[in-house]
Amino acid sequence: MNKMYIYDGTFLNLLSLITFLIKNNIKPTNIVNSNYEPTLLDEIININIVNNPKIINNIKNIWGLEIYKIMLYVYFSEDSYKELIIYYLYLNCLKYKRNTLNMRNLKCVSKSLKIAKYVSNEAHKLKGFVRFKELESKVLYAEISPTNNCLLILSEHFKKRLSHEYWLIKDVKRNMISIYDKKNYYIIPASNLKLNIELNKNELEFADLWCTFYNTIGIKERYNAKLRLNFMPKKYWRYILEMSDENEKSNK
């Protein structure tokens, strides 16, 4: 049987489970969150592990911020073995400590770095691609639907950049929303928030000015649709204001 260990889907719970498994010398087949639908070959094991809030600081202090960041970013990915990869990374950290990330000949290290890079690249792209609309209430509102979970990284970014605004970023795919109140942001299930997304009356004017600018700035003698697609893949177009028209056209 496949030994499938269950955690509650949060990063802290995952790390708590991993330390428990390692302490007890248990090698899981995989670690999955509670939404997992088991196959006939799976044995589901739910330990209901109690969170140990000290773990995160321990990782940061003993092995360094970089390793913590890599683990977190892997957790944000959609890789179906991400939990297991973090498990093996953790295991190797016990052995190689602060040198772990240099051991790129280890599969779990090279995989982790690759996945983390993929997540941070996508988050970096989205820092540019997020488009806010101003609502009637003057709150700025944006929708995203990235491949990886970028909401925390983006919230950190906009907390600094748009610190004087109220803003909301909704991850449509994961149905989570980040709410910023000019002091802190809170990431909660979108269904917990009643939202009136009526637009401010200025909104269309500025949206139109932006599209005008966008359509003017390309040089037709250098037209290169392939290059644009490389940098701005089609999966993002739906939520990028200036591309949404073209997106609809090409979907018809």
Partner 1 sequence: MKLKEKLTILADAAKYDASCSSSGSTRKNENGIGNASYSGICHSFASDGRCISLLKILLTNCCIFDCKYCLNRKSNNIKRAIFTPEEICTITMNFYRRNYIEGLFLSSGIIKSPDYTMELIIKTISLLRNKYHFNGYIHAKAIPGSSDYLVKKLGKLVDRMSANIELPTESSLKLLAPDKKETNVTTIMKTIKENRNTKFTPAGSSTQMIIGATNESDLDIMSKSSYMYSNYNLKRVFYSAYIPLNNDKLLPTLKTPPLTREHRLYEADWLLRYYNFKVEDILSIDNPNFNLLIDPKSDYALRHLNEFPKEINTASYYDLLKVPGIGITSAKRIIKSRKYFKITFKDLKNMGIVLKRASYFITCNGKYFINKSLFNKEFIENNLVLETHQINKPSITQLSLFNE
Name residue, tokens 């911020």. Answer: 65
Q: How far apart are CA 103 and CA 92, in angstroms?
A: 9
Q: Does 102 bind partner 1 (CB under 8 A)?
A: yes
Q: Candidates 27, 95, 98, 117: give the one binding partner 1 (CB under 8 A).
A: 117
Closest CB to partner 1 among residues 43, 210: 210
Closest CB to partner 1 among residues 63, 158: 158
Q: Candidates 210, 234, 245, 250: give the one binding partner 1 (CB under 8 A).
A: 210
Q: How far apart are CA 130 and CA 152, in angstroms?
A: 14
Check if the beta carbon of residue 49 is closer than 8 Å to that of residue 20.
yes
User: Interacting stretch for partner 1, rule CB under 8 A, among 31-39, 43-51, 171-179, 225-233?
Assistant: 225-233
Under DSSP, the state recorded for 50 is P
Q: Candidates 58, 182, 218, 250: give the one binding partner 1 (CB under 8 A).
A: 218
**Interface characters, 58-97, with partner 1 (x: CB under 8 A):** ----------------------------------------
CB of 131 to partner 1, least distance (A): 6
Check if the beta carbon of residue 59 is closer than 8 Å to that of residue 78.
no
User: Interacting stretch for partner 1, rule CB under 8 A, among 10-18, 33-41, 59-67, 161-169?
Assistant: 161-169
Strand, helix or coil for residue 97: helix
Q: Which two tokens stand for residue 25?
A: 């010398």
Residue 113: half-sphere exposure toward Cβ, Cα within 13 Å: 11
Q: Candidates 164, 194, 249, 252: give the one binding partner 1 (CB under 8 A).
A: 164
Q: Candidates 80, 191, 216, 251: give the one binding partner 1 (CB under 8 A).
A: 216
Among 54, 44, 45, CA closest to 15: 54
Q: Does 115 bind partner 1 (CB under 8 A)?
A: no
Binding to partner 1 in span 126-155, by CB under 8 A:
127-134, 140, 142
170: β partners:
143, 177
Q: Does 34 bind partner 1 (CB under 8 A)?
A: no
Buried b (16+ CB within 10 A) or exposed e, 22-32: eeeeeebebbb
